[in-house]
With several copies, the nearest count.
Chain A
Amino acid sequence: MDFLAKIYITLKESVLDPQGTAVTHALHTLHYRTVSDVRVGKYMEVTLSAASTEEASTLIRGMCDDLLTNPVIEKYTYELVEA
């Protein structure tokens, strides 16, 4: 079965996000003044095949822990859909 995993990676709350701050600032300059906060993270789309949703899920968690994120500063969530 083919799956598409959408993975959202963000910095942990305790870690400063200077990029988010910069974007907030830029939005304010552009008169989007009602924006109170921006957090910037990564978004990945991984296409893979697996025997079942469970297997796909295990694989995705494995990838995230092994490579796609650095647990010292980042956390992630994901969604899995059959493609």
Chain B
Amino acid sequence: MPQSSPSQHVALASARTVKEEKIYRTFGLTDAEYEHIVELLGREPNYVEAGIFSVMWSEHCSYKSSRKVLRRFPTRGPQVLQGPGENAGIVDIGDGMAVAFKIESHNHPTAIEPYQGAATGVGGIIRDVFTMGARPIALLNSLRFGELDDAHTRYLFAESVAGIGGYGNCIGIPTVGGEVVFDNRYQHNPLVNAMCVGLMTHEEIATGSASGVGNPVLIVGTRTGRDGIHGATFASAEDPHAKERSAVQVGDPFMEKLLLEACLELIATGKVVGIQDMGAAGLTSSSAEMASRAGSGLTIDVTLVPCRETEMNSYEIMLSESQERMLVVMQQGEEDLAKQIFEKWDLQATVIGRVTTDGMLRVLEKGIVAAEIPVSALVDEAPVLDRLALRPAYLDELDENGPLFVESEDFAEQLYALLARPTIASKEWVYDQYDSMVRTETFVRPGSDAAVVGIPGTQKAIAIVTDGNGRHVYLDPYTGGVRAVAEAARNIVCSGAQPLAVTDCLNYGNPEKPEIFYQLERSADGLSVACEAFKTPVISGNVSLYNESHGVDIYPTPVIGMVGLLEDRDQLITSDWKADGDEIYVLGDLERAQKAGLGGSEYLFVKQPEQALHYRLPEFDLKAEVALQACMLSLAKQGLVQSAHDVSDGGLLVALAESAIAGNLGANIHLDAVSGVERSLQYREVLSLMFGEGVGLIVITAKVGMTEALERAARAHEVPIRRIGNVSVSPVVRVSILDRLYIHAPIERLQVAWRGAIASWMRR
């Protein structure tokens, strides 16, 4: 390949136009950034170079707004084999095995083409995981849409779900869990976050680094087209609708299945030096990042890149975001091995360049240097912004006390109404469209708390969950952040597993608004503190900013993906009630729950939608939560529990109803003794106890006669425990306080409300 000096070949005329006509602005670069580039290069960038800088320095690739915030996260721990910075993080699960995982957003493409936008989001996160040498074994997705009374929202929702299923089902990775929340803050800016978990041995770990001078660089997978040029810029843009619409791509899961198998086969040969998927900013970011990790350079001849369309120029080839492609650096002389393996899978592997020592990303087109940029300028010199954070005024206007409701008798009706809220209702309509069973290792399918997936050939299993409540974070960014991690971890321990590590997807509004940036900073503090407390370091993640539309920012929505380890699959716990007569206990501080109030609860949105955001989120006791979860785990390990279910959206009664429905068993519940004193409760205390979401609680059931053992264990962890009733075959859930019967709800009624809600919206 010809080596040449830029002064001879870089098209100066083009550099002049870029400057004079300020073309860089149309790429999203500011004047100041342009000046900085000139300084770094010692000359003016030409068209291709400006394009490369613009995508590498975009919010999406450079994390320029969030980089400083992310530094706060704890990222180390004895279990961490690979922290943030690679395509996915990796944690040890013992016996020489490890899991790789990561979560990623595809919000903006989904708003415009929901099926393909969501599908390619899944495709992208799968590539991130198998690039690490791991075989993907599970997918999850965390979704936010507007309310279902809007036809366009129903379209976005239905198509996104179909797209997620379409991709995961085809490629043969089970979709085992996730969450869906409906709130009009997301109406024009839906969120689609996809998470993938992969399994590997320690020896199989691959990384995305391009080292070894002269080693060949190969592009493999789909041929390159003009799709998605400037997608990375677009992902950070304020109003995706107004932007270049060609940035949406069509996914090809069949191609990706072949790519997955071929890449894993190739990595297993041990001849791969580095491998990296091509996501946002395609060839540009993958090559720059690989070189940056190795401190090397790369020379790429775009003429060699197999293209789908005719007459693509170097600018287009470097910036294309065609899906289902990978960049591979092989050991010298092993090109043919790669070609052979890819051929078996009907795929093309093409050498397009070499690793160099000079630290330059050099792009050749027909032998001429089209771009020549120091890799460090693209990666290390990318701007880091000190954005202004300002505490939003609304936070100081929140009411301390909950609303005063007029007493009403119809508690059961209120419960049915809550259960029928799409956010709380059964998500069957969603997850029945996902193949959750392929690979035959799914022990807990969607519908319980955490999903549980077996590790073949061992007694082990992993529990996986995604969790996030934007409304809570909106009401109290710090506490909301803490709670997001706490709730994810609580779901994990409820299955009997030990939380291991976190991947996070930070979905926020426009960071240029100081109030939004405040939300980001404060909630990240909360997330960090909680991750420390639960010893679950952040090992990977993703940031999606500018989630605003029509001037409305979404709720600050950090989504936590968490993985836990279950040493013995036989100790697995699920949330359904098991047998008549089993005793029902609540772990956690019911007395506080009774006082904490309704701030941030789903109940408020049923009763008083206009006022629902006016009340403060209750204080959260992180220390108590850590103790609660440790206690839960020890009960699980001792085999004392029959079922466990955490109390979250909708509060205690919803949790009870869900376990009743899942087990098809009723219950007699007495909440008398919770206050410690035998007195009738004030109405607000009753509501707080039944529907509040302020305090971490876990409902467990145990066989008769376990009280002493349970109390002993709880005492050891200083966690309150209270027996509240029994499971019964009679198909009714009864809840009373002293001699007043508050709820008499046939399971049938609970079921109808909960199970049919989303489907009945979607039939409209």
Interface residues of A (CB under 8 A from B): 11, 13-18, 21-22, 25, 29-30, 70-73
Contact = CB atoms under 8 A, between A and B. Distances in A.
19 contacts: A13-B309, A14-B246, A15-B227, A15-B249, A16-B227, A16-B250, A16-B308, A16-B322, A18-B252, A18-B254, A18-B255, A21-B252, A22-B254, A29-B151, A29-B764, A71-B245, A72-B245, A73-B116, A73-B250
Contacts of B255: 18
A71 B346 CA distance: 29
Interface in B219-270: 222, 225-227, 245-246, 248-252, 254-255
Contacts of A15: 225, 227, 249-250
Interface range on chain B (Cβ under 8 Å from partner): 20 to 34
A11 B252 CA distance: 14
Contacts of A72: 112-113, 245-246, 248
Contact of B225 (A14, A22, A25, A30): A14
Contacts of A14: 225-227, 246, 309
Contacts of A73: 113, 116, 248, 250
Contacts of B376: none
B316 to A, nearest CB: 11
Q: Taking each of A14, A16, A30, which has the highest tally of chain B beta carbons within 10 Å of its own beta carbon? A: A16
Given A16-B227, A73-B113, A11 B309 contact: no
A70 B251 CA distance: 15
Contacts of B225: 14-16
A16 B113 contact: no
B323 interface: yes
A47 B641 CA distance: 62
Interface string B652-688: 0000000000000000000000000000000000000
Interface of B: 112-113, 116, 151, 222, 225-227, 245-246, 248-252, 254-255, 308-309, 322-323, 346, 764
Chain B contact residues: over half helix, strand or loop, or mixed?
A: loop
Contacts of A17: 250
Contacts of B764: 29
A21 B226 CA distance: 16
Contacts of B251: 18
B151 A16 contact: no
Nearest to B109: A72
B254 A70 contact: no
Nearest to B116: A73
A29 to B, nearest CB: 7
Contacts of B227: 14-16
Nearest to A67: B155
B250 A18 contact: yes
6 tightest A-B contacts by CB?
A18-B252, A16-B250, A72-B113, A14-B226, A72-B245, A72-B248
A48 B448 CA distance: 47
Contacts of B248: 72-73
A72 B108 CA distance: 13
A14 B311 CA distance: 12
Contacts of A30: 151
Given A14-B246, A22-B254, A29-B764, A70 B323 contact: no
B249 A16 contact: yes
A11 B322 CA distance: 15
Given A16-B225, A16-B250, 19 more contacts: A11-B250, A14-B226, A14-B246, A15-B249, A16-B227, A16-B249, A16-B308, A16-B323, A18-B251, A18-B252, A21-B252, A22-B254, A25-B346, A29-B151, A29-B764, A30-B151, A70-B113, A71-B245, A72-B112
A74 to B, nearest CB: 9
A38 to B, nearest CB: 14
Contacts of A29: 151, 764
B500 to A, nearest CB: 36
Nearest to B229: A14
A22 B170 CA distance: 14
Contacts of A25: 346
Nearest to A16: B250
B246 A16 contact: no
Nearest to B249: A16
Q: Taking each of A13, A17, A73, which has the highest tally of chain B beta carbons within 10 Å of its own beta carbon? A: A73
Contacts of B246: 14, 72
A77 to B, nearest CB: 20
